Amino acid sequence: MLRILLHGASGRMGNTVAELVRREDDMEIVAGVDRYAPTHDMGFEVFDALDKCAVEADVMIDFSQPGALSGVLEYCMKRNLPLVLCTTGFGERDIKHIEQASTRIPVFRSANMSLGINLIARLAGEAAAFFGDSADIEIVETHHRGKADAPSGTAVLLADEINAQLNGAKEYVYGRHGAQARRKPSELGIHAVRGGSVVGDHEVMFLGDEERVTISHSAQSRTVFAYGAIEAARYLNGKPPRLYDMHDLLVEKSTVTNVYVERDVAVLTLRGVDAAGGGAAEFFGRMAALNYNLDMISQAAPVAGKVDVSVSLGEADAYRALNALNHEDHDWNLEICDRQVKVTVEGLGMQRQSGVAARIFALLAQKGVTVTLVTTSETKVSLLVPAADERKAALALREAFELN
For the chain, the structural domain boundaries read 2-109+224-253, 115-218, 258-400
User: For 71-126, what is each residue's pLDDT tens digit?
Assistant: 999 999 999 999 999 988 888 999 999 999 999 999 999 878 888 898 899 899 99
Higher pLDDT, 140 or 41: 140
In the annotation, is 97 catalytic?
no
Is 342 a known active-site residue?
no
- Please pick, among 143, 170, 202, 342, the residue that the annotation labels catalytic: 143
Annotation: binding site for (S)-2,3,4,5-tetrahydrodipicolinate: 144, 153-154
What's the topology of domain 258-400? VC0802-like (3.30.2130)
CATH tag for 115-218 (out of 3.30.360.10, 3.40.50.300, 3.40.50.2000, 3.30.420.40): 3.30.360.10
Which of 64-68, 118-122, 345-349, 397-401 is predicted with the least confidence, judged by mean pLDDT?
345-349
Residues 228-257 have pLDDT tens digits of: 999 999 999 989 999 999 888 877 777 788
Catalytic choice (7, 147, 202, 217): 147
pLDDT tens for 187-241 read: 999 999 999 999 999 999 999 999 999 999 999 888 999 999 999 999 999 899 9
pLDDT of residue 378: 84
Mark the binding-site residues, compressed into ranges: 8-13, 34-35, 86-88, 110-113, 144, 153-154
CB 296 within 8 A of CB 343: no
pTM: 0.62
Binding-site residue ranges for NADP(+): 35
Sequence ranges of the binding site for NAD(+): 8-13, 34, 86-88, 110-113
Residues 10-29 have pLDDT tens digits of: 998 999 999 999 999 999 99
> What would the mean pLDDT of 353-380 be, rounded to a whole number?
91
CA distance 138 to 118: 18
Residues 128-137 pLDDT 10s: 999 999 999 9
> Among the CATH numbers 3.40.50.720, 3.40.50.300, 3.40.605.10, 3.90.1150.200, which is that of 2-109+224-253?
3.40.50.720
User: Measured between alpha carbons, how far apart are the two ends of the chain, in Å?
Assistant: 22
State percent of the chain over pLDDT 70. Answer: 100
